């Protein structure tokens, strides 16, 4: 092993030890516990939950593919005003806290929703609302990965097909689609995985009838104390995520697409399709956010500040905000240090194993992780370090997966030039590598912080009343009947949304690119 590779493994060691303690050990304990009660998989009830979990995730992935792939292709082939801003804004739903989306969808399509009042269409207690919620979060993922895949297709190939008589649609299907298929498939796999592991959406929108495996795991753990059966469900779910993650890593080996320059402006049918697909995307991804803000300002009798006054005058609001911010910053500090060192180490070591290990935390849902902690570390249950460790683990891959591609993109000749001018190894990295990687590191940190601020699954299992966050405060208000509680929940959700968006904008600064 060369000196640089050894240094890389040493730099990655702290994060490897952390992952072993707070991922491998809890998972091993969970699998050992679940191995004793695998009989749950012969229970028709749990098999039905598994079937529904796979079905709703599959429908979401198919819908995201059918809507996102054509839009991604058109964005990659035509010059569209505001395209760069649109692609960046698509990150906003991804960092939106789950319960904010729940409130937005309920404000639009729930029993008293605005669309329901206008059309009479009430989607509450139906699977359609859950699929729409999944699309809210995951359609941007499909579009961005599809855009990267289509951007790898040379425009000259499509031009050659057109010159041979193929129409625009035929050229797209015969030339662009096969070449971009790995990126599209990776997007579909990721959407399927995120939808299958979703917790807050099915808990709040699915009800008892449309509960997924994640909701069942939470119910068995937190409400019924049937940890063995919950562990068996987690073991089966982990097998599913292993297969999906393996597929995703193999499909994304092609790199990131580079947008072509000098693209023509969209006209005719292309312009109409762009407008129609873009409008549907905006409605799916941004209408719930606008509904949350508006619902906090509008009562049944018209505009009112009563909901905001109720939130601002509540004794628990300052505690909710303080806990949310301090827990998020503590997690960011841990994930930033561990993730930065790990990414640097993986780059130096050039190890495929380190690359794969960085994906492992993405394979385990927050609820499953929290159950593993309760089994592996019962003495630490209901302690703040365990909760922060869960946050750090969930944020860690977001930092690593943002910084590592940027490190690999640093031209080796720049470091060589710095060394020929007399700079040592550390100085060369400090003056050359770090400034080039900083935008990506900031982008990953922004995504990690915004995600942790709205984390709900692990918090609900591991928290104590004095550690309540904006997410748990939201969930509590959602459980109370009455228009005032819903209005105050929307006002509180607006605070959480603004907090997440501000954290993302301040850290990312519009420079980093997170994919």
**Global model pTM greater than 0.95:** no
- Give residue-wise pLDDT tens across range 348-399: 888 878 887 887 887 777 888 888 888 888 888 778 888 899 999 989 988 8
With cut-offs at 50, 70 and 90, classify the pLDDT of residue 37: low
DSSP 330-387: HHHHHHHHHHHHHHHHHHHHT-HHHHHHTTGGGGS-HHHHHHHHHHH-GGGTT-HHHH
Assess contact for 371 and 457: CB atoms under 8 A.
no
pLDDT at 515: 42
With cut-offs at 50, 70 and 90, classify the pLDDT of residue 476: confident
Q: Is the dihedral of CA 70, 72, 76, 80 positive or negative?
A: positive
Contacts of residue 237, Cβ cutoff 8 Å, sequence gap at least 6? 196, 197, 213, 214, 217, 365, 368
Q: Measuring CA to CA, which residue among 404, 493, 505 is closest to residue 450?
A: 505
Does position 180 have pLDDT exceeding 80, yes or no?
no
Does position 215 have pLDDT exceeding 70, yes or no?
yes
pLDDT at 463: 77
pLDDT at 510: 45
Does position 22 have pLDDT exceeding 70, yes or no?
yes
SS3 content of the chain, % helix, strand, coil (to 5): 80, 0, 20
Does position 141 have pLDDT exceeding 70, yes or no?
yes
What number of residues does the chain have? 515
pLDDT at 484: 80
Does position 146 have pLDDT exceeding 70, yes or no?
yes
pLDDT at 42: 81
Average pLDDT, the chain: 81
| Least confident piece of the model among 150-154, 168-172, 477-481 | 168-172
pLDDT at 165: 65
Residues above pLDDT 70, as percent of the chain: 85
d(CA 477, CA 494): 14
| Least confident piece of the model among 76-80, 134-138, 329-333, 461-465 | 461-465
d(CA 438, CA 511): 9
Residues above pLDDT 90, as percent of the chain: 15
Does position 24 have pLDDT exceeding 70, yes or no?
yes
Does position 162 have pLDDT exceeding 80, yes or no?
no
Strands (E), 100-222: none
Q: Give the pair of three-digit tokens for residue 264.
A: 């023509």
Q: Which residues pair with 265 in a beta bridge?
A: 79
| Least confident piece of the model among 29-43, 257-271, 289-303, 345-359 | 257-271
pLDDT at 255: 47
Assess contact for 99 and 475: CB atoms under 8 A.
yes
pLDDT at 514: 41
Q: For the chain, state the CA radius of gyration.
A: 24
pLDDT at 133: 92
Count of CB atoms situated within 10 Å of the CB of 430: 13
Q: Measuring CA to CA, which residue among 198, 107, 93, 187 is closest to residue 147?
A: 187
287-301, 393-407, 422-436 — most confident range:
393-407
pLDDT at 292: 86
DSSP 22-52: IIIHHHHHHHHHHGGGGGGGG-HHHHHHHHH
Instruction: Write down the H helix ranges in 78-126.
Output: 83-89, 91-95, 98-109, 114-119
- Give residue-wise pLDDT tens across range 222-280: 777 777 788 888 878 888 877 777 777 666 655 444 455 567 787 777 788 889 999 99
């Amino acid at each position: 092993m060369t000196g640089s590779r050894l240094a890389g493994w040493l730099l990655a060691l702290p994060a490897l030890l952390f992952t072993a303690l707070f991922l491998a050990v809890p998972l091993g304990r969970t699998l050992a516990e679940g191995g004793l009660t695998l009989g749950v998989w012969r229970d028709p009830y749990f098999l039905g939950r598994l079937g529904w979990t796979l079905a709703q995730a599959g429908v979401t992935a198919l819908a995201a593919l059918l809507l996102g792939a054509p839009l991604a292709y058109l964005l990659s082939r035509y010059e569209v005003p505001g395209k760069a801003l649109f692609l960046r804004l698509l990150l906003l739903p991804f960092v939106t806290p789950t319960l904010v989306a729940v409130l937005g969808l309920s404000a639009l399509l729930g029993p008293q929703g605005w669309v329901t009042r206008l059309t009479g269409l009430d989607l509450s207690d139906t699977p359609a609302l859950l699929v729409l919620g999944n699309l809210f979060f995951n359609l941007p993922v499909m579009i961005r990965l599809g855009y990267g895949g289509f951007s790898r297709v040379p425009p000259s190939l499509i031009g050659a097909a057109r010159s041979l008589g193929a129409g625009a649609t035929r050229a797209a299907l015969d030339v662009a689609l096969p070449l971009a298929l790995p990126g599209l498939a990776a997007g579909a796999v990721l959407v399927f995985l995120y939808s299958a592991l979703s917790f807050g959406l099915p808990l709040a929108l699915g009800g008892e009838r449309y509960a997924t495996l994640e909701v069942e795991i939470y119910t068995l753990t937190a409400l019924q104390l049937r940890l063995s059966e919950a562990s068996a469900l987690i073991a089966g779910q982990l097998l599913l995520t292993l297969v999906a993650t393996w597929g995703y890593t193999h499909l994304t080996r092609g790199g990131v697409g580079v947008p072509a320059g000098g693209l023509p402006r969209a006209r005719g049918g292309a312009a109409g399709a762009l407008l129609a697909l873009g409008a549907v995307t905006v409605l799916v991804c941004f209408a719930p956010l606008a509904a949350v803000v508006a619902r906090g300002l509008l009562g049944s009798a018209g505009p009112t500040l009563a909901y905001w006054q109720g939130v601002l005058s509540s004794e628990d609001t300052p505690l909710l905000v303080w806990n949310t911010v301090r827990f998020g910053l503590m997690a960011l500090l841990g994930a930033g240090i561990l993730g930065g060192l790990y990414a640097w180490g993986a780059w130096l070591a050039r190890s495929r194993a380190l690359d794969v290990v960085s994906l492992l935390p993405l394979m385990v849902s927050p609820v499953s992780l929290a159950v593993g902690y309760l089994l592996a570390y019962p003495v630490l249950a209901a302690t703040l370090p365990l909760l922060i460790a869960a946050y750090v683990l969930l944020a860690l891959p977001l930092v690593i997966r943002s910084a590592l591609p940027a490190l690999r993109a640093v031209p080796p000749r720049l470091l060589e030039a710095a060394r020929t001018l007399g700079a040592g190894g550390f100085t060369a990295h400090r003056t050359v590598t770090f400034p080039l990687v900083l935008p990506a590191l900031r982008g990953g940190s922004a995504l990690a912080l915004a995600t942790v601020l709205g984390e709900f699954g692990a918090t609900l299992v591991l928290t104590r009343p004095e550690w309540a966050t904006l997410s748990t405060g939201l969930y509590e208000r959602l459980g109370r009947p009455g228009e005032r509680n819903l209005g105050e929940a929307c006002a509180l959700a607006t605070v959480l949304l603004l907090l997440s968006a501000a954290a993302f904008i301040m850290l990312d600064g519009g420079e980093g690119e997170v994919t």
